Structure 1
Amino acid sequence: MNFKTRDLQAYAIAGTQDLPDQQLLPFLKKALEAGITTFQLREKGPAAVNDRQTLVTLAKACRQLTAQYQVPFIIDDDVALALEVGADGVHVGQKDQPIETVLKQAHQRLIVGYSCETSGQVNHANQLTGIDYLGCGAVFPTVSKADAENIGLTQLRQLTTLSTYPVVAIGGITLENTAQVLKAGAAGISGITLFTQSPDLTQTLTQLLAHYQREV
């Protein structure tokens, strides 16, 4: 699947650890029906799936669902798993595998997303070939990553201006602050709790995607 910048508009991230009773697949189906534009499987933390075969089975089920809705499927920090299950891409952070290693392994077969929080990291990414988008944040304080330092809107604007790649913003983003984030130059919105804790996914996606219509 070819990467398109609009795929970043409603970029949902989740793993079994983020949902009651580990009900990831029912959540994913609802989210796809509601209109998410990309899904990233992120199994991390003590409550995440740690058995490899179980993880492969889960990822294959996610692949099947996302394919039905023609939505890009990204795996967090695991190129081998992404290739094994036929995912569309992989996303890595600064503390994951070195980006150069990931790009070599992906070898233009995968969409590659890369997390950057500083100007130096963005400048480094700008020198590389094969990255498709950057993930920047946490923009605001977030409960999903306790160790994440929030960069704020001013730094987000600096990063989006500096980056030669489209930027998807993450971290503490809500429907109430989405407009500010997009005005800071983000091409899209990503998150965990924005989607997993939504009381009405259809309404959340309708309101979120409406921001892009207003931006046009």
Structure 2
Amino acid sequence: MTVFDPNMLRVYLVGGTQDTGNDPDRFLRDVETALKAGVTAFQYREKDGSLLNHAETVQLAHRLRELTRQYQVPYFIDDDEKLALQVEADGVHVGQKDQRIEKVIQRAGGKLLIGYSCNTAAEIAKANRLSAVDYIGAGPVFTTNSKGDADPAIGVEQLKQLNTASQHPMVAIGGISQANLTDVLNTGVAGVAVISMILGSSDIAGTVELMRAAYK
């Protein structure tokens, strides 16, 4: 099993084919460009408008496993520990609305790294009692169009409060851009997770390099 390192969270790419115009070939090309440029983790999240069926999703998940291994980047699957175990991913990310975290820990604890979405003080307090959780995802920090069912934006002040309260490293997600990246990092979070900032960029490699440079 991969050993968790908070530095994995620094430049965390999240995405699925719905984020590249439902074009799997383009998605693979863009993800490989980002991996090659130095993203520190990748999460495969196929939802919100995806046109892939289950078999196609599994096939693509296997191809992404090959790419992430090639570039030695930790690979997470969104909300599907069965698929994560099937493709030998490094981890699974669990949302508050998706599955009960306890079930995922029961099935995947000790086999997969576990990320957990928490956006309130009560959710953070619960997560603090779960030693099997490796990191927390908090957001959306800003309004985002990448997720149709996203919660209201929490803003940087609440992000800072949640990060202070969390006993697990935190990655911020939601509406993060070049314009607000510094403000987000100033909250003390371990890293940022982005979708459109990278996959919607006309210069994917340059965007990844810019994000990496923000930590220097």
TM-score (norm 1): 0.95
Partners of 1:117 and 1:137 within 8 A in 2: yes
1:104-143 aligned at under 5 Å gives the runs 104-143=106-145
Q: Unpaired runs of 5+ in structure 1?
A: none
User: Using the alignment, how far apart are the partners of 1:171 and 1:200 within structure 2?
Assistant: 20
User: Using the alignment, how far apart are the partners of 2:51 and 2:105 within structure 1?
Assistant: 26
For residues 151-189 of structure 1, the C-alpha deviation after alignment (integer angstroms, 9 at most, x for no partner) is: 001100000000000000000001121111111121101
For residues 134-160 of structure 1, the C-alpha deviation after alignment (integer angstroms, 9 at most, x for no partner) is: 000000011112332100011000000
Partners of 1:15 and 1:48 within 8 A in 2: no
In the alignment, which of 189, 200, 203 is matched to residue 200 of structure 1? 203
1:52 alignment counterpart: 54
In the alignment, which of 151, 155, 176 is matched to residue 152 of structure 1? 155
User: Using the alignment, how far apart are the partners of 1:106 and 1:72 within structure 2?
Assistant: 16
Indicate whether 1:62 and 2:61 are aligned: no
Indicate whether 1:92 and 2:94 are aligned: yes
Partners of 2:135 and 2:168 within 8 A in 1: yes
User: Using the alignment, how far apart are the partners of 2:213 and 2:49 within structure 1?
Assistant: 36
TM-score (norm 2): 0.95
For residues 88-121 of structure 1, the C-alpha deviation after alignment (integer angstroms, 9 at most, x for no partner) is: 0000100011011111111211010000110000
Which stretch shifts more, 144-153 or 130-139?
144-153
Structure 1 ranges of 4+ moved more than 6 A: none
Partners of 1:92 and 1:113 within 8 A in 2: yes
SS at match of 2:114: strand
- Aligned-residue offset at 1:211: 1.1
Q: Unpaired runs of 5+ in structure 2?
A: none
User: Using the alignment, how far apart are the partners of 1:94 and 1:107 within structure 2?
Assistant: 17
In the alignment, which of 181, 184, 196 is matched to residue 181 of structure 1? 184
- Aligned-residue offset at 1:46: 3.1
SS at match of 2:138: strand
Q: What count of residue pairs does the alignment treat as equivalent?
A: 212
User: Using the alignment, how far apart are the partners of 1:133 and 1:35 within structure 2?
Assistant: 20
SS at match of 1:145: coil
SS at match of 1:189: strand
